[in-house]
C-alpha cells in the first residue's frame, strides 16, 4: 500500500463506485433535522480530518470574507460539515483582518504566518540569474513573472504547503482563493466522498497555460522519471498531457517490469489548481516531495515561472492512477476568466450561473504573444477521453 493511501472508510459509507456513493449516501442530501440522531452522531464522529485552506494577504480582507461566506452558504454551514479554516500569510495578520474573517464563519479558524524556511528565495538560487530571468519573462509578457511574491507563492503551493505544521493533523484540504464565486449548492460532503472512494485529487477545470512560463519543466520531469522509474505508478496514464498521444503507436514499453514511457511533448494542459480538493498525505508522500525537490533544486521556480498548477498536474499524472482523480463537474465555480457551471438538470444545485460548455475558455490564459501549438481538443476532453473526443458536425457529440 502506498503511504498516501487514505484511511479505510467506514463500512456504512463504502460503495462500489463513486457514482454509486453519490446516489446511495442520501443522508448527505437530507435536512439535518430529518436524520435520525444516532446516524447524525455517527456522521459527526466519522467526519474526515479536513480543512479549508487559503493563502491570503491582509489587503485581500474583503475578497476573503466574500469567498468564506460563499463556501459557508453553499457547503460548510451544515452541522455534519463545519470544517476548520486555516489561513496562511507570509506576514502577520492584522486585527482587522482576523475580526472580519472570523465573523464570516461559525467553524474554527486558524491564522498562520508562514516561516522564513518556506517563504524565501533558497540559497542555491543564483541572484543574478534570477533577476535576468524575471526581467526577461516579464518583458515578453509572462503573467506576474516580475513579482517575487508570485514565484514564492507558486513554490509554496507546489510542495511546501502540505508540510506546514498547522496542517499536520489533517488528511484532506480544499483550496479557496479570495474573490471567487461558488455558484451552486454542494449537497454532499466532498471530503467523505474523497475518503470513501479512495480519491486523492479533485478538480473542476482543466486549462491550457502559457508555455513560456516553464520552458524547462517537461524536460526536468522526464529526467526525474528516468532517474526514478520505481516511483512512477504502474497504472499512471499521462497521455492526455502530451501532444498527439491519442493516435496509435504513441505508447512504448521498455525494460523488465516496465513502466509506461510515453513519446511526445507536454501540451501544457493542467488542472486549474485555484480550485482543488486533495489528499495532504499524497502531497507529503515520498513520490511528490522527491519530484518537488528535484524541480526546486534546479532553481526554476525563480529562473522561470514554474506554477503550482502544472507541477500538481504532472505529479498527479505520474503517481496516481486515473481512478484516484475526480472531475467535480457539479461544483459551480468562477474565478476571473475561468468558470465551471454544471448542467442545471443535476438535482438540488440551485445554481446562479449559466451552464458552461466543457470547452469553455480552456485557453483563455494563453496570451496572443505565445505562439505555442494548442492541442486538437480541449484539456478536459483529453482527460475524459473516449466519446468526448468524437466530433459530429460542428460540435462534439457528448457533453456533461
Q: How many residues does the chain have?
A: 400
Written as one string, the DSSP assignment of 8-70 is PPPTTT--SSHHHHHHH-GGGTS-GGGS-HHHHHHHHHT---EEEEEE--GGGHHHHHHHHHH
Q: What spatial distance separates the first Cα and last Cα of the chain, rounded to whole Å?
A: 34
Nearest-angstrom CA–CA distance, 383 and 327: 9
Residue 276 is among the residues annotated as catalytic for this protein: yes
CA dihedral 220, 221, 223, 229 (to 10 degrees): 160
Q: Which of the residues 164, 177, 276, 287 is marked catalytic?
A: 276
Q: Tell me the sheet residues that pair with 242.
A: 266
Residue written as grid cell 482587522:
96
Query: In whole angstroms, what separates CA 376 from the centre of its chain?
Result: 24
User: Which cell numbers in the block locate residue 345?
Assistant: 438538470
Q: What SS3 class is residue 201? A: strand
Catalytic residues: 276
Amino acid at each position: 500500500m502506498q503511504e498516501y493511501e487514505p484511511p479505510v472508510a467506514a463500512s456504512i459509507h463504502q460503495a462500489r463506485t463513486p457514482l454509486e456513493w453519490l446516489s446511495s449516501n442520501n443522508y448527505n442530501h437530507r435536512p439535518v433535522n430529518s436524520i435520525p440522531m444516532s446516524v447524525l452522531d455517527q456522521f459527526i464522529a466519522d467526519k474526515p480530518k479536513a480543512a479549508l485552506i487559503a493563502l491570503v494577504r491582509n489587503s485581500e480582507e474583503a475578497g476573503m470574507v466574500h469567498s468564506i461566506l460563499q463556501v459557508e452558504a453553499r457547503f460548510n454551514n451544515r452541522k455534519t460539515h463545519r470544517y476548520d479554516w486555516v489561513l496562511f500569510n507570509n506576514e502577520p495578520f492584522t486585527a482587522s483582518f482576523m475580526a472580519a474573517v472570523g465573523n464570516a464563519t461559525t467553524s474554527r479558524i486558524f491564522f498562520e504566518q508562514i516561516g522564513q524556511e518556506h517563504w524565501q528565495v533558497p540559497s542555491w538560487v543564483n541572484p543574478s540569474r534570477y533577476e535576468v530571468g524575471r526581467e526577461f519573462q516579464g518583458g515578453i509578457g509572462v503573467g506576474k513573472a516580475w513579482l517575487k511574491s508570485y514565484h514564492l507563492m507558486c513554490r509554496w503551493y507546489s510542495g511546501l504547503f502540505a508540510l506546514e505544521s498547522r496542517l499536520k493533523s489533517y488528511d484532506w484540504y480544499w483550496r479557496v482563493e479570495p474573490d471567487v464565486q461558488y455558484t451552486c449548492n454542494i449537497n454532499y460532503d466532498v471530503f467523505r466522498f474523497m475518503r470513501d472512494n479512495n480519491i486523492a485529487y479533485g478538480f473542476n477545470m482543466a486549462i491550457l497555460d502559457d508555455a513560456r512560463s516553464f520552458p524547462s519543466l517537461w524536460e526536468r520531469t522526464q529526467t526525474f522519471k528516468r532517474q526514478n522509474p520505481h516511483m512512477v505508478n504502474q497504472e499512471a496514464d499521462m497521455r492526455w498531457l502530451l501532444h498527439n498521444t491519442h493516435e496509435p503507436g504513441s505508447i512504448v514499453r521498455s525494460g523488465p517490469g516496465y513502466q509506461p514511457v510515453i513519446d511526445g511533448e507536454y501540451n501544457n494542459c493542467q488542472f486549474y489548481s485555484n480550485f482543488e480538493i486533495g489528499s495532504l498525505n499524497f502531497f507529503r508522500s515520498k513520490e511528490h516531495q522527491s519530484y518537488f525537490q528535484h524541480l526546486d533544486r534546479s532553481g526554476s521556480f525563480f529562473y522561470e515561472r514554474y506554477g503550482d498548477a502544472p507541477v500538481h498536474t504532472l505529479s498527479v499524472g505520474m503517481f496516481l492512477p486515473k481512478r484516484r482523480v475526480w472531475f467535480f463537474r457539479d461544483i459551480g465555480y468562477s474565478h476571473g476568466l475561468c468558470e465551471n457551471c454544471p448542467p442545471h438538470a443535476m438535482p438540488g444545485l440551485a445554481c446562479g450561473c449559466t451552464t458552461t460548455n466543457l470547452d469553455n475558455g480552456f485557453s483563455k490564459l494563453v496570451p496572443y504573444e505565445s505562439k505555442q501549438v494548442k492541442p486538437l481538443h480541449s484539456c478536459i476532453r483529453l482527460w475524459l477521453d473516449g466519446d468526448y473526443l468524437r466530433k459530429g458536425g460542428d460540435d462534439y457529440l457528448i457533453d456533461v
